[in-house]
């Protein structure tokens, strides 16, 4: 005999339990240098990921997209995606099993636009809603950082901070002191910021690009450290250019940054080609964004009404996927 309450009945399969969103991100200046403690300037994109939670007796599992087979949300046999989301689930709603997470998005994957951080943030928000336990932004950042370690090894945290907080921000990674938090300073652009984003192929991997640069730094510490410090200084200059509404200056800073990133070995023929085409089509500046070695470029259009379209046309004539994105979107979706 037991006087425990009977378990509450499960909702019928397919029942909608929660929906949440998260934006992608673009690093405007300071990628790679941010790994070494220098500042980076990044902004949330007006494109992202939406996640719906539905009752599913075969859960927990993820439906990554309309054409992809469901992935079990489990450490190990769920691959990197299943392992990362198993961490999110264990951190946010450990008791929740019979759920399917259905993801829809408008971000190219593996291109340095924060698709994995956006997926983790949207999943964490949706699971927190389902469990009725909202997450503070700091807690959400920690949950997503834990998941991102699966993809990135030891990420600086700039992707997660930008996707969680939205807007445009200057980010400096946390020191190695126990309990230290990153420094995040919001940046308010004097005028709306739109960038052309373009890519020809996914990048070869953030973890790989960061590791290759670390080896180069071991061989050439003085030069690489000097160039990293310059990239961080360009990020600070970029924040000031945005706040004072100087797009021409921001464009120049982007060009300088691309040159330094190429010197550091994280550009590639396709990225250099897109950057040159964008400049020839009138961009005020253009550079790779994110880890590099493939992935996306960003280009800053001038003020003319057809400025963005000219760059988009130049990108699509060489077969690139390209779109115009508003940068600095406020946080989307449910709180937390």
Contact positions vs ligand PMV (CB under 6 A): 27, 31-32, 34-35, 112, 114, 152, 155-156, 158-159, 206, 210, 290-291
Q: Which is nearer to ligand PMV, 19 or 115 (CB)?
A: 115
Q: Which is nearer to ligand PMV, 130 or 162 (CB)?
A: 162
Least Å from the CB of residue 156 to ligand PMV: 3
Least Å from the CB of residue 47 to ligand PMV: 14
- Which of the 8 DSSP states describes residue 39? -
Question: Between the CA of residue 114 and those of 25, 48, 138, 166, 332, what are the distances in Å?
Answer: 5, 9, 18, 12, 15
Which residue of the set 159, 218, 269, 270 is catalytic? 159
Beta bridge partners of 196: 299, 324
Q: Which is nearer to ligand PMV, 61 or 173 (CB)?
A: 173
Least Å from the CB of residue 114 to ligand PMV: 6
Q: Which is nearer to ligand PMV, 19 or 156 (CB)?
A: 156
HSE toward the beta carbon, residue 102, CA cutoff 13 A: 13
Least Å from the CB of residue 287 to ligand PMV: 13
Question: 312: part of which helix (H) or strand (E)?
Answer: helix 307-317
- Examine the residue annotation and report whether 159 is marked as an active-site residue of this protein: yes
Q: What 3-state DSSP class applies to 62?
A: strand
Question: Between the CA of residue 50 and those of 56, 115, 122, 138, 175, what are the distances in Å?
Answer: 18, 11, 6, 21, 32
Token readout for 169 is 């921000």
Q: Is the peptide bond between 81 and the residue preceding it cis, with omega within 30 degrees of 0?
A: no
Distance CA 316, CA 284 (A): 19
Q: What 3-state DSSP class applies to 272?
A: helix
Least Å from the CB of residue 71 to ligand PMV: 20
Give residue number: closest CB to ligand PMV: 290
Q: What is the dihedral of CA 153, 154, 158, 163, to 10 degrees?
A: 40
Q: Which is nearer to ligand PMV, 37 or 46 (CB)?
A: 37
Tell me which residues are annotated as active site.
159
């Amino acid at each position: 005999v037991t006087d425990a309450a009977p378990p509450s009945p499960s909702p019928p399969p397919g029942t909608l339990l929660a929906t949440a969103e998260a934006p992608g991100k673009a690093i405007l200046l300071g990628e790679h240098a941010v790994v070494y403690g220098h500042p980076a300037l990044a902004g949330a994109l007006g494109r992202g990921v939406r996640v719906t939670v539905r009752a599913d007796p075969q859960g927990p599992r993820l439906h990554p997209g309309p054409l992809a087979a469901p992935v079990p949300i489990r450490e190990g046999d769920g691959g990197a995606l299943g392992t990362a989301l198993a961490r999110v689930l264990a951190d946010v709603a450990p008791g929740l099993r019979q759920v399917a997470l259905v993801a829809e998005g408008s971000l190219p994957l593996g291109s340095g636009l924060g698709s994995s951080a956006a997926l983790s943030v949207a999943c964490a928000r949706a699971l927190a809603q389902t469990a009725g336990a909202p997450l503070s932004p700091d807690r959400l950042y920690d949950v997503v950082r834990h998941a991102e370690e699966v993809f990135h090894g030891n990420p600086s945290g700039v992707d997660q901070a930008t996707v969680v907080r939205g807007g445009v921000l200057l980010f400096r990674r946390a020191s190695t002191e126990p309990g230290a938090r990153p420094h995040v300073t919001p940046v308010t652009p004097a005028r709306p910021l739109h960038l052309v984003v373009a890519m020809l192929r996914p990048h070869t991997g953030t973890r790989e690009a960061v590791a290759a640069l670390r080896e180069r730094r071991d061989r050439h510490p003085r030069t690489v450290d000097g160039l990293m410090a310059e990239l961080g200084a360009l990020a600070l200059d970029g924040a000031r250019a945005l706040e004072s509404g100087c797009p021409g200056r921001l464009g120049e800073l982007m060009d300088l940054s691309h040159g330094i990133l190429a010197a550091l070995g994280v550009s590639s023929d396709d990225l250099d080609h897109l950057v040159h085409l964008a400049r020839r089509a009138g961009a005020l500046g253009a550079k790779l964004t994110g880890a590099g070695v493939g992935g996306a470029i960003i280009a800053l259009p001038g003020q003319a009404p057809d400025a963005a379209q000219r760059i988009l046309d130049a990108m699509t004539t060489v077969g690139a996927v390209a779109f115009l994105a508003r940068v600095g979107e406020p946080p989307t979706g449910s709180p937390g």
